[in-house]
Amino acid sequence: MTKMDMAFFPTVKGSMTSEDGQTFMLHVKRQTGGDLLLGFPHAEIPNIVENAAMQATHGRDTRGRKTQIALKTTSIQVGRGENGEPVLSMIVGAAGRISFLLPDDLPGKLSQALRKLAN
């Protein structure tokens, strides 16, 4: 792997979107105590979430124990995407939405899994 610079931000303070809706910004805290806004094209949010999810299972706390990462979902919604594909959306926080395009066979599998949890 090529060596590259790394910056460590111990805290994510929040997020915002630019007025034109094209830039997603994370408000982070530096180790030195200063604040910084990290900006990304709004269209990169799915890529950021996917990459974070792939790394979540590798995390460890300061004592070396595996960390359990889970978002608190306040509700779920199911519907159809632009091309008729099944879409599962989870509402997180006050107004956040994470949507997943599902393969055609997955709604049935989800239904079965949710029935098991309900019993």
Q: What is the pLDDT along the chain (119 residues), one digit of tens a residue?
A: 789 999 999 999 999 999 999 999 999 999 999 999 999 999 999 999 999 988 888 888 889 999 888 888 889 888 998 888 899 999 988 788 899 888 888 888 888 888 998 87
- The ranges assigned to domains in the chain are 1-55, 71-119
pLDDT of residue 95: 80
Nearest one of 93, 94, 95 to 72, comparing CA atoms: 93
pLDDT of residue 96: 87
Q: What pLDDT is recorded for position 41?
A: 97
Q: What is the pLDDT of residue 69?
A: 82
Strand partners, 86: 80
Q: How far is CA 80 from CA 46, 86, 99, 100, 102, in A?
A: 18, 5, 11, 11, 10
